[in-house]
Structure 1
Amino acid sequence: MDATAAAAAAALVFTWLGMVLAISFVEAPLKFRAPGVTVPVGLGIGRLVFRALNSIEALFAVGLAVAVAAGSAPASVGVPTIVAVVLLVAQLAAVRPALNRRSERVLAGEDLPRSRVHHAYVALECAKVAALLAVGIAVLGR
């Protein structure tokens, strides 16, 4: 992998990884522990934050894919890149719509039990973190 593509890929992957870790694993669970934050308020904030995060993630995914393809990356970089992108697509296409439908119902006043779909999002998020780490380590090892 050429140096310019590797540098671009490293910058993109570690920025993407940092954003996911900060928002999904720090901000999201902590906001519900803040004084005065109700479930509807937390859901409203979460929807805005995750919509922004996912939009930025999509840009990072495209940029990373371009850097990896343009830099003639080896399989040790290409495969986890594909995995990370596929996991993001699964989150956006399969899980987020279900979470959005559920949050709409909660915001409309329905009293619903905890969502199992949320666990699927978290599992995909953990797998995506692992894939991004693999990409970053492989890129730095080049």
Structure 2
Amino acid sequence: MTEVAIRVAAAAALIWLGMVLAISFMEAPLKFRAEGLDVRVGLAIGRIVFRALNIAEVVWAVVIAVCLAVAKPSGPVLVLATLTGALLAFQLLLVRPRLNRRSERILGGEDGPRSRAHHAYVGSEVMKFGALVALGAALLST
């Protein structure tokens, strides 16, 4: 059972990593390069996509947590899993609400400079990417 739990956790971490790569580092920036795409439409689409991504991330985090509770792995795996979860919590609880308020204002017709919260989200997304790579590698070597 322990071996299965570790492998399921590794698969969840790597699938989560793939989703972050595909959405945060490809879809999001490329969408705004599409010719003729209004920024407000792109923003509205982005809100839907990131809401779905965040729900999936929470599911993967729970899967990993349950698997690690069953497997009781070494300290480094637990540290990496905790770091990954903490980064997700930071994004969901502190950064996303600010970004949502800003996007609501823009969708309502306001203009304004880029939010510092966007930079915080991107920075935490880069850190989460690294944590997921390390977590997946650590789980696969367990």
Aligned pairs for 1:51-70 (under 5 A) are: 51-70=51-70
> CA offsets, 1:5-53, max 9 Å, x none?
1110111000000000100000000000011111101100000000000
> Distance in 2 between the 1:123 and 1:15 partners?
20
> Distance in 1 between the 2:124 and 2:57 partners?
14
Query: May I ask how many residue pairs the two structures share in their alignment?
Result: 142
What residue number does 2:46 align with?
46
> Distance in 2 between the 1:70 and 1:3 partners?
10
> Distance in 2 between the 1:136 and 1:2 partners?
16
What residue number does 2:115 align with?
115
Q: Is 1:71 aligned with 2:75?
A: no
Aligned pairs for 1:122-141 (under 5 A) are: 122-141=122-141
What residue number does 1:94 align with?
94
TM-score by length of 1: 0.97
Q: Partner letter of residue 99 of structure 2?
A: L
Stretches of 4+ moved more than 3 A in 1?
A: none
How far apart are 1:79 and its partner, in Å? 0.6
Identity score, percent: 56
Q: Does the residue aligned with 1:113 lie in a helix, a strand or coil?
A: coil
Q: Partner letter of residue 53 of structure 1?
A: L
How far apart are 1:2 and its partner, in Å? 2.7
Q: Does the residue aligned with 2:114 lie in a helix, a strand or coil?
A: coil
Q: Does the residue aligned with 1:109 lie in a helix, a strand or coil?
A: coil
> Distance in 2 between the 1:114 and 1:126 partners?
19
Q: Partner letter of residue 19 of structure 2?
A: M
Q: Does the residue aligned with 2:121 lie in a helix, a strand or coil?
A: helix
What residue number does 2:31 align with?
31
> Distance in 2 between the 1:123 and 1:98 partners?
15
> Distance in 1 between the 2:78 and 2:110 partners?
44
Q: Partner letter of residue 112 of structure 1?
A: G
What residue number does 2:7 align with?
7
Q: Does the residue aligned with 1:16 lie in a helix, a strand or coil?
A: helix
> Distance in 1 between the 2:109 and 2:69 partners?
47
> CA offsets, 1:122-141, max 9 Å, x none?
01111111111111111111
How far apart are 1:72 and its partner, in Å? 1.0
What residue number does 1:106 align with?
106
Q: CA RMSD in A?
A: 1.0
